[in-house]
Structure 1
């Protein structure tokens, strides 16, 4: 018998060690164990779960499927079958303009099954962040434009937004590593801003880069946000402003973040159209899309970490 084969089945990792290696919280591991029959930990003398290298491999495979947008049930089936996610080959992706048009039509026709299928097609061929920037964002822009032109009702827009929010929530949860070490970014919509999806995309992009993000959502008073960021020991604040309706409250409350001494990164459609607004609000413009913003924030946090190490 191959001794290395025995080692792959030897229970040797605690739940916290598996969480550190894979980024999957221990609570999620227990849910997968109950629902899907894996991983298959054994109990030590004290009753604690111990995981084998094979378990760790399966956990990583499940996580990879989820990050590509595969539903949890299907991801479990693929994992148990030993099927890895298909690598993305440049130049072989679908026609994203066609995907955007078809997804827009499906959502406005309330054909959510078709919407799921189209996003599944996108995730099967494109990296997650390309799905965000080339499919989901343009779809949201097109739906918003149709509402502004009076071609659809606000109910149509709300249903489409709710569908896309649910998909983004699933991806955010799959990428979350709440117990992981490293800096924490607090992500919030500015006062008066209720459009969350752009901020959700940034949260997802940051989590995929190993950054912990506390997503606090819509219409956040900056005084409360400052208290929260201080209590959580945050390293930065990311603030989303999509329209000019968010500007009066942000201008009036911006001083509430000054005492934190933290970098404030600003993004969203309003700041994209008016980048100099970031200087006025004593922040840093994070860039025109989630992937770019995440890269800018990660680089800034890295420099800040280096500065702190030099000071100690």
Structure 2
């Protein structure tokens, strides 16, 4: 993070798929399922690592650690001198937790139901009152070979379920921010360079962006931020061309236990409305992604208040060196710095 000492290098501006990028896409899926590797030694009844369980559930490893710390839904298998491992029963309870949160059940209620869940007698623990009739058994999918070209090709077909599975798998293994940076952004760059027309109703960029936003919703649903940061919120202000990036940053904050809201910059009329939102949401941080209209006036007004930290992200962000105003290079750096402020 840089503070009012002078300019610095920034990230590369608009997100691919929002204003363009580089690369070429072939229409084949270019990959397919990767066969299971026997060397893993993790059969149906073998204890699993945090990374393996995160991949299986489609959540970040940090989410599993939060569920362990906050609700006691952690690994029970342990051998002397080795890391703790998740038993099949542990995984079954976590699957129940994941299913209930995706149905809209509050994480605390879902955790109580999951803790009482007996995999040997599934009818013993019913979902909390007001939830859906009951979760469906989780689908089992083979591990996919995931890379930007294969993801882009699946979006071109379009194969919506495959695109979603590929991105969700990456989120489970790497977290939402790295999945966006290393997979979705390069794929959107490739899609942005296609020199061909699309069939009516087929929009590969929208397919991929839809999968990213669905994954963000899943991350937020799985995270319980109700007890953190004294109820404070991070406001992420972005124009249409940067909105996907803002949502991804919000998902990354949720993985770290921080609540966020995304402001539509084009619907905000002046700094006064943003300051009102700051008060209504008890915001301690305002992050401006890019340089939407009125950014300089907004940043100066918030800086003058003195009780809100402002983060500017993007190569086109204004060069403002004011009290409580910071510049960061990447979404991952932004999340790290914002979390430090919220939990500091």
Q: TM bucket by the smaller chain?
A: 0.5 to 0.7
Equivalent in the alignment of 1:286: 328
SS of residue matched to 1:277: coil
1:240 corresponds to 2:295: no
Alignment of 1:224-235 (within 5 A): 224-235=273-284
CA contact (8 A) 1:230 1:260 kept: no
How far apart, in 1, do the equivalents of 2:330 and 2:111 lie? 44
- Relative to structure 1, the CA distance from residue 76 to residue 237 in structure 2 (aligned partners, 3 Å threshold; closer, same or farther) is farther
CA contact (8 A) 1:182 1:211 kept: no
SS of residue matched to 2:236: strand
- Relative to structure 1, the CA distance from residue 76 to residue 299 in structure 2 (aligned partners, 3 Å threshold; closer, same or farther) is farther
Equivalent in the alignment of 2:302: 257
1:54 corresponds to 2:118: no
Report the CA distance between 1:181 and its aligned residue: 4.5
Report the CA distance between 1:266 and its aligned residue: 1.6
TM-score, length-scaled by structure 2? 0.52
Equivalent in the alignment of 2:80: none
- Relative to structure 1, the CA distance from residue 257 to residue 299 in structure 2 (aligned partners, 3 Å threshold; closer, same or farther) is same
How far apart, in 1, do the equivalents of 2:72 and 2:244 lie? 24
Superposed CA deviations along residues 172-214 of structure 1, whole A, max 9, x for unmatched, are 2322523544362333334x44531111111111121122223
Q: Any unmatched runs of 5+ in structure 1?
A: 1-17, 42-48, 59-71, 84-92, 304-312
Superposed CA deviations along residues 137-182 of structure 1, whole A, max 9, x for unmatched, are 3223333x32xx7545694433432332222222223225235443
- Relative to structure 1, the CA distance from residue 53 to residue 112 in structure 2 (aligned partners, 3 Å threshold; closer, same or farther) is closer
Q: Any unmatched runs of 5+ in structure 2?
A: 1-66, 74-95, 120-131
Alignment of 1:1-312 (within 5 A): 21-22=70-71, 32=100, 51=112, 54-55=115-116, 77=137, 99-123=147-171, 125-143=173-191, 145-146=192-193, 151=196, 155-182=203-230, 184-190=232-238, 192-217=239-264, 219=266, 221=268, 222-241=271-290, 246=292, 248-261=293-306, 262-267=308-313, 271=314, 273-274=315-316, 277=319, 279=321, 283-289=325-331, 291-303=332-344
Q: Which has the higher contact order (CA 8 A, sep 6+)?
A: 2
Structure with greater helix percent: 1
